[in-house]
Chains A and B, each alone.
Chain A
Amino acid sequence: MIIDVNAFLGHYPFRSLKFNTADGMVSLMGRYGIDRAVVSSLNAVFYRDAHQGNAELHRETSLHPDRLIPVATVNPRYVGWQRDLEECVSRWKMKAVTLVPSHHGYSLTDEYGHAALSRIAEYDLPVVLTQRFEDRRQRHHWDIAEDLEVKTLVEVAAAHPRLKFLLSNWIGLDGGRLAEAGLRGRCLIDFSRLHVILLKDVTRLIAAMGVESIAFGSHMPFDYVGPSLVKLANLETMSSAEYEKISWQNAAAFLKLDL
């Protein structure tokens, strides 16, 4: 089984995406042998009212409840976000919460970020932090979002010691630094931008953070799925137990999925 923890539905304003509807994504998953995908709403990133994107995501993923696992997105600068989050968690049973501070105009370390992270921790849900959607060297001139930085991650990990982090689409992660910040055991890192062979990022992260810290992710539909499948195939020399953890069990445990 494969669970992909780095996937999105919806439109991206700066590039045409394929397979960005629920039906399209399920067809893509079928082609590549991916059983389930953890999906956030791109529309929620760019709508003024992010919750409209959550509602769309709920409607779309409800058509494929056995394949798509929806993730809420909240904007703590927007009126009534706490009630919106409550609806996502209690009514729609969303399993994690995405924050996009740069796109929504705040910092994870300011009052808005602090409030959102605290509320997410109270729900005992992971926060999903995507380091970037695309490479800044190709960005549209309206795209001014900065990549998330490791130093910010470390700072908020210390400020919110109960909070769990799903880190999607990151590079530059130093496992020793993450472990020192107390993130071992409360952090799941998708390997979509990491190397299994050559630079051996995954090997080093496992050594510092444990095999439970790594999960399959592809960043679909932005990116091809093949690169992450090649990485997974290169992990087949691990023990079967470790391989299955990375392939799907870590994601299932971290998100408390009822499979």
Chain B
Amino acid sequence: MKQNRREMLSAVGSGLGAIGVSMLSVAGKADEKKDIAGSSASVIKSKVTGLPENWRAMRKFDVHNHVMQDVHLPDADWSKVESLVEAAQILGIEKLFCSRPITGGVMAEIADVRSVNDSVIAAMKRYPDQIFGFCFVQPGNGPAALEEIDRCLDAGMLGVKLYNQYRYTDPMVFPVAERCIERRIPFLGHSAHLTDARTLAAQPKTSDSLDFCELSLRFPELMLILGHVNGGGDWEWAIKGLRDCPNVFLDTSGSVLENDTIEMCVRELGHERILFATDMTMEGCVGKILSAELTDDQREDIFWRNLQKILDRRTA
């Protein structure tokens, strides 16, 4: 049964209460603490002085996140989705753009692809103001993959997510790119320039920035997003490889939080090609943008406005 926000947050708060941690009271705007019911409590100034005072209230759209459970099934466990929404509220992330790719190099059947997308659709229905869908497809499914894109868009999804079943220079991917152009939706791709043999052997078809460039040159109208610049792999390579391909955007997500990543993106690509994202490293990726050397306008563009411009093209 669907919980309302108050019920859900209350449940979360009691779960953390054993150690005296109620995450809810930091979920209010700016540094104003609020109680579970959302009414204003006393204003307590944060002890952490190294962040902008209003950092929680800064508008943020996370273009790369995931629904990780079969929440479309009866009696589903929603706990991970609830934790995701809770974390977004605490961090002031207004919109989560989520997919559920089939990973591990699995060449999935179309029925399995539909199933994972159904879980995202279920999450979109339960959290219509917070969770927005990106449709996972496996290009090897051929025409069925294109039909799945249409089905996902009809259900309200806003983009397509590909994983590493095919390198993006593979002609198998081209019909997906063409469908994205036709429907004016962004194509978010898993990426990495992997330099260690072990990971490379496990993910031999992972695309790096040069693959994205090649796809972009072939399809200049495609709204192409290189996923998680800090998701593992040589991020300096990734950024430099995009310099000659102005139509490729890049998202800032990933578990690597290395200093100068964002500044190098801005130096080499310009800030308007950079999209905030977390890929589930939520605190880290918010903190990365907050402590990067950016102007206020650049930070705002990266946090949400650049993505909004991409989404606006859909209805232009």
- Enumerate chain A interface residues (CB-CB to B < 8 A): 15-19, 31-34, 134-141, 193, 195-200, 203, 206-207, 211, 219-239, 242-243, 247
> Could you tell me if B86 and A197 are in contact, using CB atoms closer than 8 angstroms?
yes
Residue in A19, A140, A229, A243 whose CB lies within 8 Å of B50: A229
Mask of B278-289 contacts with A, CB within 8 angstroms, 1/0: 001011111111
Which residues of chain B are within 8 angstroms of A139 by Cβ–Cβ distance?
195-196
* Given A33-B50, A203-B21, A220-B259, A237-B83 contact (CB < 8 Å): no
> Could you tell me if B51 and A227 are in contact, using CB atoms closer than 8 angstroms?
no
> Could you tell me if A197 and B283 are in contact, using CB atoms closer than 8 angstroms?
yes
Is B14 part of the binding interface, using a Cβ–Cβ cutoff of 8 Å?
no
How distant is the Cα of A224 from the Cα of B260 in the complex, in angstroms? 8
Distance (Å) between the CB of A88 and the closest chain B CB? Answer: 28
Is B19 part of the binding interface, using a Cβ–Cβ cutoff of 8 Å?
yes
Which residues of chain B are within 8 angstroms of A203 by Cβ–Cβ distance?
16, 19, 21
Mask of B52-69 contacts with A, CB within 8 angstroms, 1/0: 000100000000000000
B215-244 residues with Cβ-Cβ distance < 8 A to A are 232-236
Distance (Å) between the CB of A32 and the closest chain B CB? Answer: 3
> Could you tell me if A229 and B48 are in contact, using CB atoms closer than 8 angstroms?
yes
* Given A207-B18, A243-B47, A226-B287 contact (CB < 8 Å): yes
* Given A203-B21, A233-B26, A197-B286 contact (CB < 8 Å): no
Q: Which B-chain residue is minimally distant from A140 (CB atoms)? A: B195
> Could you tell me if B21 and A225 are in contact, using CB atoms closer than 8 angstroms?
no
* Given A137-B196, A139-B195, A239-B20, A18-B51 contact (CB < 8 Å): no
Q: Which of the 9-residue segments B133-141, B156-164, B172-180, B250-258 touches chain A?
A: B250-258
Q: Which B-chain residue is minimally distant from A196 (CB atoms)? A: B283
Which residues of chain A are within 8 angstroms of B260 by Cβ–Cβ distance?
16, 18
Q: Which B-chain residue is minimally distant from A219 (CB atoms)? A: B257
> Could you tell me if A197 and B87 are in contact, using CB atoms closer than 8 angstroms?
yes
How distant is the Cα of A183 from the Cα of B50 in the complex, in angstroms? 32
Chain B CB within 10 Å, residue with most, of A139, A195, A229: A229
Residue in B44, B49, B87, B288 whose CB lies within 8 Å of A227: B288
Which residues of chain A are within 8 angstroms of B234 by Cβ–Cβ distance?
138
> What are 27 residue pairs bridging A and B, where the CB atoms are less than 8 Å apart in the complex?
A15-B236, A17-B259, A33-B48, A33-B49, A34-B50, A136-B196, A137-B192, A137-B195, A138-B195, A138-B232, A141-B195, A197-B23, A199-B83, A211-B19, A223-B259, A226-B288, A227-B286, A227-B287, A230-B51, A231-B287, A233-B26, A234-B23, A235-B21, A237-B21, A237-B26, A238-B21, A247-B47
